[in-house]
Chain A
Amino acid sequence: MYTRKNLPPIAAAALLAGLCKISAAVPPELLATAGVSESEFFSELPVVLSVSRLAQPTREAPGAVTVIDAATIRQIGARSLGDVLRLVPGFQVAETHRGAPYFVYHGGTSEEPRGLQVLIDGRTQYSPSWFGGVNFNTLQVAIEDIDYIEVLRGSNSAAFGANAFLGVVNVVTKPAAQTRGVALLANSGNAGIEDRYARVGWGSESANYRLSFDRRRDAGLRRYYDSRYSDMIDARADLQLGNRDALEVRAGGVSVRQGDGYSGRDNFPELQPEHNVKLKNYWGQLTWRRELGDQDGLQARYFTVGEHHRDRYEVDISPLIAAGLLSAGASGLIDNDIHVVRHDVELQHTVELGGAMRAVWGAGFRADRVSSQVIYSRADWLSNDVARIFGNLEWRFRPSWVANLGASWDHETLSGTHFAPRLMLNHHLDRNQTVRAGVTRAYRTPSLYEQRANSSFGFEPASPLFGGLSLPGVKDQISTGRAKAESIQSVEVGYLGEFKSIGLVLDVRGFREHVRDRIIPQMYTVSTTTPCEALPDAGLCGAQDFINAQSYRIRGGEYQVRWAPVPATQLIFNQTFIDIESELHAVATDPAIKKHIDESAPSRLESLTLLQRFGERWNASATYLQSKGYKWTNNATVPAYHRLDWRLAYAFKLAGARGEAAYTVRADGGPHAEFRDKGNLSPLEWDETEPIHPRHYFTLRLEY
């Protein structure tokens, strides 16, 4: 109903001005304050939600996806990525004496886990340093900067390259425009927990910036010298250049001091005395996005990473000299330095073809350079480059059917060419339910260590020590490069039911994953052709090489139920059933290796998480997890365990700032092991049980 109103004074003035000077131009301010102007009805606008910015709805995603947002990460009081991944079905997370928690998906555990591609804003965290996996201690992100974590449960080399062997963990940080102002956070608790985080963000409509500082400190496990000191700086700039172009700039570095080694044991010389390993990791990244039209977009990304692992310490070899095993002039200085440089460039084009098809395709190139005297017995740089072409076609060929066909072809200098295809079919049963089935093949290419390592152990003047005791100058590791890529063929069925009206989501995945050519260490005589097993008397056998000599089948199902009976409550229940059966091939016969993989995943694992808000100020979370026993290493087991993590938080306002005070307890209850407990450890391996004790800490957070 239209109603007349009195003339506001400003408009009356305008009218008066108009009466006096009819032909005078009307100042725009008068019109603007007169109310709503008509200019906005006719203005040209940029296409903001373009085809490359729009995310696929979960029910059309070609695979099982679990997304955990920043609010949940905060509500559970996570201090590292592993803490968050406990909420994802199929994941096994273990706190160890090596610093940040380890995580794997569907077994295949190891002291250096591989098999999951971890990306931070598109940057792979796979490192060619050391054994070639993800270093959980130097992940290039501060927990507080994470916007959401998207976990793609299932092999996907077709889209994410070799090393997306069993799944992908895709961490996305908050856009700079969302983090304006100042935020401060501090954690303080037992076990030496002292974290500090500070962030400042500023900007305008077209340029936004953020600078974050993150410090993590904790004393690790009780019986070990494994304190972790981590300092990180992370900078981000998001620039909007005109209506069509956007540029993101990122740079940062993290420096970690991680305790390692053991205190002396009885009459054994300290071959790995307590010392600190220093890890440094720097990165720089440029991402440029351009909207080519309504229906297509281009993205170009370049990043570079530099790493330096510094691990130098002195071993007291006087007992060995005294026993006549070493000459008097021998040095006990150990130097395990590693340097890494990586460059990566990728171009990607997203285009909507007609109404029913969307295609993404692109190409990339990565150059890795590694230098380490201790691992490769040479002072120069070794290189491993990868060239990649990939594509995915999403075809909605019927109103309720979506097919995704993807493939990638990559060529690596050291391990050759691999072709990874993927097909997934989604069928919408109705508005709320979708079923899914698909097959894929993926690869894990052998790391530089697995292909080119050349190290020796023994005591020589200025020669590196590599565990164990032997005659001087004997080769310990000679990777001949005969190991080729591991492959996995995966068949899956899935179901997703999203019932908004009752706040229920059910996500089910059934899988049969067949891994072939698993790379395992094999001892040979120094000639590298005669395996030790072949000798009548193995004795003190020689060097270790890597060969493809194991295959295994992973079968099982996992599901998640999320239920929000009322908006203030959310319940998340995960359950995973896994059965793994492996076989050894070729010359490999060590039963410990077979047993390790057979038991690398618990037969059953479940967790229940409650996220509850009480009114406007209080919120709480609790996660109860229980797992059947399994193995992380050849020679030790993790018996069945359960753990409880909980947190209580209170939000308040203080002098213009929004604040939150919280109290978190992790691993509440009696101590338990998550990585290593009982085993048949030889005297050489003094790694014993690694019990986790409860940790509790206070958190204070302020945001302006």
Chain B
Amino acid sequence: MFRRLLLILLSCLTLSALAETVAVVNVEQNANFAEFARLLEADLAKPGGGLQVRRLASAAEIDPAARVVVAVGSRSLLQALAAPKGAAVVAALTPSPAFEALSGRGRATAVFLDQPPARQLALLRLLLPEAKRVGLLISRDLQRETAGLQRAAEAAGLSLQITPVDGREGLFDALQLMTARSDVVLGWPDSAIFNAQTIQNILLTTYRQRQPLVGFSAAYTRAGAIASVHSSLPQMAAQTADLVRATLAAGGALPAPQYPKEFEVTVNRQVGRSLGIELPDERVLVDQMRAREGKLKP
């Protein structure tokens, strides 16, 4: 009996030693990032999942026993990659170009913050079937990042009008050039071009030319974009949790980084009415876009 008790005790101890530790690193003070970390922790620490989650404000505090480190945001990612630990890194709330620039050597995977290029274009085609020329403003040194977007545009039968911008002073000229040869404008998260200071000029200029703008966050829809497609924090947290579990299950091989799978669409009805564009219900749009993506997958 004493031997049985010892066995039970030993197995309990081993079991607790076998509980996986996941570190969630969030160096940003931003409320959105904190909310995401909280949602992620709640999902991962579900009872029966066998996971221990630690939320950290700095990569220096990562437990050496942690198997997976989730880095929330690109600054967290930079820290996590620099820390010489053996853990696999899962990047979250990081846009794909930032992730590509920072990661390497197969140590990291991610759930990207930005939408796959084909998705923004699919929304565009659903709302504006007659638009053929899609205007895009981008900083001159970021032009190479648009390769994915160009391929998706070609596949969708759209002509992407890439207009490079030379610094803040060049925005005005680039706007004039772009609106002259576009039917619709695509908002792309280049913070040198699309930010709270420049959005006024951009929206007023494109509106005057009666060109709608498709944005990448709900704030852009409120500001005056005709529609935006974006993923909510709960959606991304759930997908990140799944990726963490897949990473743990995979052992040595890291799963490939992924774009967000679930998404939302917001539309601006006042702007739509003013431009004479019919805007279906937001849920109908999401369903239609999902159906299209489902068909394309092999």
Q: Hey, which bits of chain A sit against chain B, CB under 8 A?
A: 1-2, 4-8, 11, 14-15, 18-19, 22-23, 26, 31-49, 51, 53-57, 59-60, 175, 177-178, 180, 205-206, 240, 243, 294, 352, 355, 431, 498, 500-501
With A8-B101, A14-B78, A18-B79 in contact, do A36 and B224 touch (Cβ < 8 Å)? no
CB–CB B198/A15 < 8 A: no
Interface hits, B133-180 → A, CB 8 Å: 141-142, 145, 148, 168, 172
Stretch from B11-19, B244-252, B265-273 forming part of the interface with A:
B265-273
Chain A hits for B195, CB < 8 A: 40, 43
List, in ascending order, chain A residues with CB within 8 A of B59's CB: 22
Q: Does B203 contact A (CB under 8 A)?
A: yes
- A11-B201 Cα distance, complex, nearest whole Å: 32
Nearest first, the 3 A-B pairs at minimum CB distance are: A18-B82, A49-B224, A35-B97
| Minimal beta-carbon separation of A626 from chain B (angstroms) | 33
B279: interface (CB < 8 Å): no
Contact of B74 among A8, A31, A175, A206 (CB under 8 A): A31
Q: B114: nearest residue on chain A (CB-CB)?
A: A36
A41 B217 Cβ-Cβ under 8 A: yes
Contacts of B191 in A (CB 8 A): 32, 36-37, 39-40
Assess whether B79 is in contact with A22, with CB atoms less than 8 Å apart.
Answer: yes
Q: Check B58 against A37 for contact (C-beta < 8 Å).
A: no
Q: In the complex, what residues of A have CB within 8 A of residue B216's CB?
A: 40-41
Q: Tell me the nearest residue of chain B to A17, going by C-beta.
A: B82
A528–B182 CA distance with the chains assembled, in angstroms: 68
Interface centre among B207, B217, B219, B257 (most CB of A within 10 A): B219
Of the A-B pairs whose beta carbons lie under 8 Å apart in the complex, a sample of 22, sorted by A's number, is A6-B104, A18-B78, A31-B74, A33-B141, A34-B97, A36-B189, A37-B74, A38-B73, A38-B98, A40-B195, A41-B114, A41-B217, A43-B196, A48-B224, A49-B204, A49-B207, A51-B270, A54-B270, A54-B271, A177-B201, A178-B208, A498-B276
Of B145, B172, B269, chain A has the most CB atoms within 10 Å of the CB of B172
B83 interface residue (CB < 8 Å to A): yes
A537 CB, nearest partner CB in chain B, Å: 67
Nearest CB on B from A281, distance (A):
29
Which of under 10, 10 to 19, 20 to 34, or 35 or more describes the interface residues of B? 35 or more
Q: Are A205 and B94 in contact, CB atoms less than 8 angstroms apart?
A: no
Residue of B nearest to A30 (CB): B78
Contact between A43 and B219, CB atoms less than 8 A apart: yes
A55:B101 contact, CB within 8 angstroms? no
- Residues of A near B83 (CB, < 8 A) are 22
B contact residues vs A (CB 8 Å cutoff):
30, 32, 58-60, 73-75, 78-79, 81-84, 93-98, 100-102, 104, 113-114, 130, 141-142, 145, 148, 168, 172, 189-192, 194-201, 203-205, 207-208, 216-217, 219-220, 222-224, 230, 256-259, 268-271, 273-276, 278
Cα(A500)–Cα(B230), bound, Å: 30
Nearest CB of B to A704, in Å: 11
The residue in chain A whose Cβ has the minimal distance to the Cβ of B142 is A35
* Chain A minimum-CB-distance residue to B168: A205
Given known A14-B78, A205-B198, contact A40–B217 (CB-CB < 8 A):
yes
In whole angstroms, how far apart are the Cα atoms of A40 and B276 in the complex? 28
- Complex alpha-carbon distance, A56 and B274, angstroms: 5
Instruction: Say whether, besides A1-B148, A18-B82, A36-B145, A178 and B74 are in contact (CB < 8 Å).
Output: no
In the complex, the chain B residue whose C-beta lies closest to that of A358 is B270
Chain A residues whose CB sits within 8 angstroms of the CB of B75 once the complex forms? 26, 31
Chain A residues near B198 (CB, 8 Å)?
205
Other A-B pairs beyond A2-B257, A5-B101, A46-B200, 7, CB < 8 Å: A15-B102, A22-B60, A36-B96, A36-B191, A40-B189, A49-B223, A178-B205
Interface contact A48-B98, CB-CB below 8 Å: no
Contact of A36 among B79, B168, B190, B275 (CB under 8 A): B190
Determine if A57 and B276 form an interchain contact, defined as CB atoms under 8 angstroms apart: yes
**What's the Cα separation between A23 and B191 when bound, in Å?**
26
- In the bound complex, residues from chain A placing their C-beta under 8 Å from that of B196 are 43-46, 243
Contact (Cβ within 8 A) A34 B60: no
Shortest C-beta distance, A698 to chain B (Å), equals 26
Query: Shortest beta-carbon distance, B170 to chain A, in Å?
Result: 12
CB nearest to B222 among chain A residues: A47
From B30, B257, B274, A42 is in contact (CB under 8 Å) with: B30
